[in-house]
Amino acid sequence: MKFFGKIAPDLLAMLGKKTDTVLYPQVKTPVSDRFRGALKFNKERCVGCKLCTRVCPAQAITIEKVADKEFKAIVHMDKCIFCGQCVESCNKDALENTNNFELACSDKSSLDWEI
């Protein structure tokens, strides 16, 4: 059956209910355990195979040798598409995704992370 204002009673019922939106910066909703956020690099586990560099679809990660058996990762978080393929490809679990998604910043160069 069709008539004008069919939804109005349900709207009035909404007045007493808790809102579904939150004031974001003050209130944060949780992210899932599987969420793929900013990368974390465990340098003690890296063996420098550079598989992550090769599989990355966005060329966002490079591994550099610092000293003997010691490596550092240069991650361009602005290029990263957060697919998590590097984490999955790494045989030594040297890379992992954190649940940090708040990467917005006003200076693009600060997204080039050396970790």
Partner 1 sequence: MALDLFYIVIFPGFLFLGAISLVFEYIDRKLYARLQNRIGPRWYQPLADIIKLLTKETIIPKEADRRFFAAVPMVALAATTAAFLYVPIWSSRSLMPFASDLIVVLYFLTIPTLCFFLAGWFSSSLFAQIGGVRALTQLFAYEVPLYMALLAPALLAGTWSISGITAFYHQHPIYLLLNIPAFCICIISAQGKLERVPFDIPDAETEIVGGTFTEYSGRLLALFKMTLNSEMVVVAALIAAIFIPVFVQSAILNFLLFLVKVFVIVFVLALMRASFARFRIDQMISFCWKVLAPISLAQILVDIIVRGIILK
Partner 2 sequence: MSKIMVPLGPQHPALEEPESFNLLLEGERVAASQVCIGYNHRGMEKAAESRTYLQNVYLLERICGICSHSHSTCYVQTVEDLAGVEVPQRALYIRALIGELERIHSHMLWLGIAGHEIGFMTLFMYAWKDREIVMDILEMLTGNRINYGMNTLGGVRRDVTPEMADKIREAVGQLQERTEYYSRVILGEETVYLRLSGVGKLSKADALRFDTTGPVLRASGVGRDVRRDDPNGIYPNLDFQVITDDHEDVYGRTVVRVKELLESYKIIRQILDQLPDGPLTVKVPNRIPAGECISRYEAPRGEDIHYTRSNGTDKPDRVKVRAPTLANSAAIAHMLDGGYLADVPIVIAAIDPCFSCTDRMVRVTDANSGQAQSMDWESLRRYSAQWYRKQGMDFSRIPLR
Among positions 12-31, residues that touch partner 1 (CB under 8 A) are: 12, 14-15, 17, 19-23
Fill in the per-residue mask, 46 to 85: x = in contact with partner 2 (CB under 8 A), - = not in contact.
---------xxxx----------------------xxxxx
Does residue 1 touch partner 1 according to CB under 8 A?
Answer: no
3-state secondary structure of 61: strand
Residue 63 · residue 46 · CB < 8 Å: yes
| CA 106 and chain centroid, separation | 18
Closest CA to 111 of 69, 61, 71: 61
Residue from 16, 20, 44, 68 touching partner 2 (CB under 8 A): that is: 20
| CA 50 and chain centroid, separation | 21
Gap between the Cα atoms of 115 and 112, Å rounded? 10
Residues at the interface with partner 1 (CB under 8 A): 4-8, 11-12, 14-15, 17, 19-23
Residues at the interface with partner 2 (CB under 8 A): 1-7, 10-11, 20, 31-36, 55-58, 81-85, 88, 97
